[in-house]
A and B are shown apart, each in its own frame.
Chain A
């Protein structure tokens, strides 16, 4: 069908009226706080130290007896923050294997994620400033999320229910000073990402993420991991591993940064755009797919992914934007992840074949 051209032929002229945008300098708005007479309360300790997750000087993050560190293959981008991850298992309990989703952790498990910035990214082990510690706690029926904000002295962290914004600076690997306003999420925001069929769930600790060089194998050998006796573990590549193909790296990047929402069980299921590595349908991955509810997030572009043309792909636009309501992911990013965007652009370029 080619009526498009036929239709165009009816056009007689295009009239363009351009208005010069007038920049109205915003007056600072002073907000007086009004109390609604409510006190914040929590079922959990107000201080991180009360959990006894770490021994010695807390900021050294040396795990106590029942706590152990873990690592994943590809990490979510969070404004270049470094992350130190730990698990506390209830005594005598084990983790049950799951081939695709988060492993089956026993009730009582605490997943612990510390977010920190080394002063100098070239010396990542020195002069760390820990900003926050997030806990995912497996209660009887559901997972709960709580957040602790560290003090400037790095001696204690206090529970914050509604988040906080902190100025942060570091020297990047090129020796350049970087400054951002880091956003600690509010506790209700946690579920904006950690949602699976309406319920709070961990995202990172699935088999393909945990299958680093020895980690899952060690867990299996030590009996920490059960139900995986003759299993061949799946593996997600590290998107940073340049020995892997652009496609593998990009798909890993999309999975960990987007796939928690953009999947059939996630909060962005309404978009029909699904970005897990298990997705094989190109249309579902955004190729020539028109957006559903993107609004200005479309950036004036018509398809999520136009093979060969990152500058015409909505995906690249939303990863670059810093505007709330336009940017993706919706939370956890105040600056562009240049390396991530470059990888996805390269992937889109290579999709032509």
Chain B
């Protein structure tokens, strides 16, 4: 990891001295493409021709049905929002039915690259969504941002450089995130308050955290029922460059898979390798909220106000047949948990950790089965780490598999 750190520093320094990318002859199709999107009728395919195109305003799609946005290929058609003057997203689609985005690259929007909201049926295929240059907090939050939608597929896509999550799906139902590559994001893949989600075949590497399943309070729905399988969550050791205030800013660099306040989750057949701080972790929102809070803030008061339907404790977790490996001697030192692990488990950072903050009303159910050799930690954060233990005897059980969503 030291070598990686040095490499990052060197690349930062050299990027100042010379323009790192070759000159691109940017052209404009903004007026025509937006006009086509306004005039699009049911069943239309809108072509983004090969070439490099610069946009100054968000491209807006509204109320379209069965429309395909078709590029000439990820390496052929590039649309950039580097000169964006207005709008909070690169592409913004709302109130559509069966939208498809495929075969292009979108980059450098001021906010999120592609946001799709209130849509029934959206598929992203072979789209690269990225922020160019070094990962930095000035980058937009989400590369792919379907939210409040149903029947969402993100497949064979690439997400790079998001200051929050590369592929973020929020408050949506029936979601498939498969066969994507995500790197240099704070969170590689994040499913937040979604129900019936399959995340498989993805390669999440060199993010701060590889794959996150979160449930946040105060939203339109609570999440549950998610399968995470056949993924590579490897070397997610990037420094955390999320702007403070966002929940992912609390994710420790070196996190493979993280589950927060969510329930009915099955994690299996994943290769969880070389995430220096923790391979997989299950935590409550209580912990994350406390980490995000400033000292002296009225956390209790804030928690009291969270809507009563929200359950801040994770539950019903089944992790089996995963492969844990970690060649790093040290956890991250950029996060308090890294220091905690370093002190409590010198040279033996846990592969799997839970915060040990449980609901008083419901028994915490978690089964760990057939995960090979792995180091476990129950932090007992509820009691200031006093009952911290490395035994996972209590969770040695066979859980119930979740049926595929399709």
Chain A residues near B (Cβ < 8 Å): 1-8, 10-12, 15, 17, 19, 22, 24, 29, 31-41, 161-163, 165, 183, 186-189, 191-192, 195, 198, 267, 269-270, 272, 281-284, 287-303, 306, 314, 323-326, 330-331
Contact = CB atoms under 8 A, between A and B. Distances in A.
A288 B36 contact: no
B186 to A, nearest CB: 10
A15 B333 contact: yes
Nearest to B51: A34
A192 B344 CA distance: 51
Nearest to A183: B86
A314 B87 contact: no
Interface stretch (B198-206, B267-275, B287-295, B316-324): B287-295
B39 A299 contact: no
A292 B340 CA distance: 28
A286 to B, nearest CB: 10
Contacts of A290: 216, 245, 247, 289, 292
B140 A325 contact: yes
B246 interface: yes
B267 to A, nearest CB: 24
Contacts of A3: 290, 381-385
Nearest to B94: A267
Interface of B: 9, 12-13, 15-16, 19, 25-39, 47, 49, 51, 53-54, 57-58, 60-63, 83-89, 92, 94-95, 109-112, 117-118, 137-142, 145, 147-148, 163-164, 168, 170-171, 216-220, 243-247, 286, 289-295, 297-298, 301-302, 305-307, 333, 336-337, 339-340, 342-344, 357, 381-385
Given A34-B27, A299-B245, A301-B244, A189 B60 contact: yes
A22 B88 CA distance: 26
> Looking at chain B's contact residues, is the secondary structure mostly helix, strand, loop, or mixed?
mixed
B86 A270 contact: no
16 contacts: A1-B357, A3-B385, A4-B290, A7-B381, A11-B336, A31-B27, A38-B35, A191-B94, A192-B60, A270-B219, A288-B298, A293-B112, A296-B163, A302-B292, A306-B297, A325-B110
Contact of B147 (A38, A270, A300): A270
A161 B38 contact: yes
Given A292-B219, A294-B141, A324 B32 contact: no
B16 A293 contact: no
Contacts of B305: 281-283, 287-288
A284 B305 CA distance: 9
Given A288-B301, A296-B138, A300-B243, A270 B117 contact: yes
Contacts of B220: 269-270, 272
A6 B292 contact: no
Contacts of B292: 290, 302
Contacts of B337: 7
A29 B26 CA distance: 7
Given A191-B62, A270-B148, A324-B88, A32 B33 contact: no
Nearest to A15: B333
A4 B244 contact: no
A29 B33 CA distance: 20
Contact of A330 (B88, B140, B302, B336): B88
A324 B297 contact: no
Chain A to chain B: the 3 pairs with minimum beta-carbon distance, closest first? A295-B141, A325-B111, A298-B245
A198 B86 contact: no
A36 B40 CA distance: 14
B26 A7 contact: no
Contacts of A269: 148, 220
B148 A295 contact: no
A78 B244 CA distance: 30
Contacts of A296: 137-141, 163, 243
A326 B111 contact: yes
Contacts of B15: 22
B142 to A, nearest CB: 7
Nearest to B164: A295
Contacts of B147: 270, 293
Contacts of B86: 183, 189, 324, 330-331
A198 B302 contact: no
Contacts of B84: 324-325
A161 B34 CA distance: 9
A36 B38 contact: no
Given A10-B339, A294-B141, A299-B243, A35 B111 contact: no
Contacts of A303: 245, 297, 302
A162 B28 CA distance: 14
Nearest to A330: B88
B36 A36 contact: yes
- Among A39, A183, A296, residue most surrounded by chain B Cβ atoms (within 10 Å): A296
